Amino acid sequence: VQALDYNDYFSYQVSDYGMSREEMLALCEQLIQDIWPLYRELHTYARYELATKYEQEVPEMLPAHWLPNRWGQSWSSMVEVEGIDLDAILEKKGPEWLVKQAELFYVSMGFEPLPQSFYDKSSLYPLPEEADYKKNNHASAWHMDLQQDVRSLMSVTPNARWYETTHHELGHIYYYMEYTNPDVPPLLRGGANRAFHEGVGSQMGLAAMQKPFLEGLGLIDEGVETDDMQVLLKEALDMVVVMPWGSGVMTQFENSLYAESLPMDQYNKKWWELKKKYQGIVPPTERGEEYCDAASKTHINNDPAQYYDYSLSTVILFQLHNHIAENILKQDPRATNYFGSKEAGEFLQGILSKGATEDWRVLMKENTGEEISAKAMLKYFEPLMSYLQEQNEGREHTLGDKPM
Which residues in this chain contact ligand X8Z in the complex, by CB under 6 A?
73, 139-140, 165, 168, 310
Polymer length of the chain: 404
Judged by beta carbon distances under 5 to 8 A according to partner kind, the member of ligand X8Z, Zn ion, none in contact with residue 208 is none
Report the largest interatomic distance among the alpha carbons of the chain, rounded to a whole angstrom: 62
Judged by beta carbon distances under 5 to 8 A according to partner kind, the member of Zn ion, ligand X8Z, none in contact with residue 140 is ligand X8Z
Judged by beta carbon distances under 5 to 8 A according to partner kind, the member of ligand X8Z, Zn ion, none in contact with residue 310 is ligand X8Z
Please, which residue, 8 or 198, has the CB nearer to Zn ion?
198
Instruction: Report the residue closest to Zn ion, judged by CB.
Output: 198
Please, which residue, 198 or 254, has the CB nearer to Zn ion?
198
How far apart, in whole angstroms, are the C-alpha atoms of residue 248 and residue 278?
A: 6
Nearest-approach distance from CB 110 to ligand X8Z, in angstroms: 24
Judged by beta carbon distances under 5 to 8 A according to partner kind, the member of Zn ion, ligand X8Z, none in contact with residue 139 is ligand X8Z
DSSP state of 114: P
Q: Which stretch binds Zn ion (CB under 5 A): 33-41, 145-153, 197-205, 366-374?
A: 197-205
Nearest-approach distance from CB 380 to ligand X8Z, in angstroms: 18
Q: How many CB atoms sit inside 10 A of residue 66's CB?
A: 20
CB 288 within 8 A of CB 268: yes
Please, which residue, 139 or 232, has the CB nearer to Zn ion?
139
How far apart, in whole angstroms, are the C-alpha atoms of residue 384 and residue 388?
A: 6
Nearest-approach distance from CB 219 to ligand X8Z, in angstroms: 22
Residue 49 main-chain phi, psi, to 5 deg: -65, -45
In sequence order, which residues have a C-beta less than 8 Å from that of residue 263 and are 6 or more positions away?
none
Q: Which of residues 149-188 bind Zn ion (CB under 5 A)?
A: none
- In angstroms, the Cα distances linking 92 to 7, 48, 95, 96, 141 are 52, 35, 9, 11, 26
Q: Which residues bind Zn ion (CB under 5 A)?
A: 198
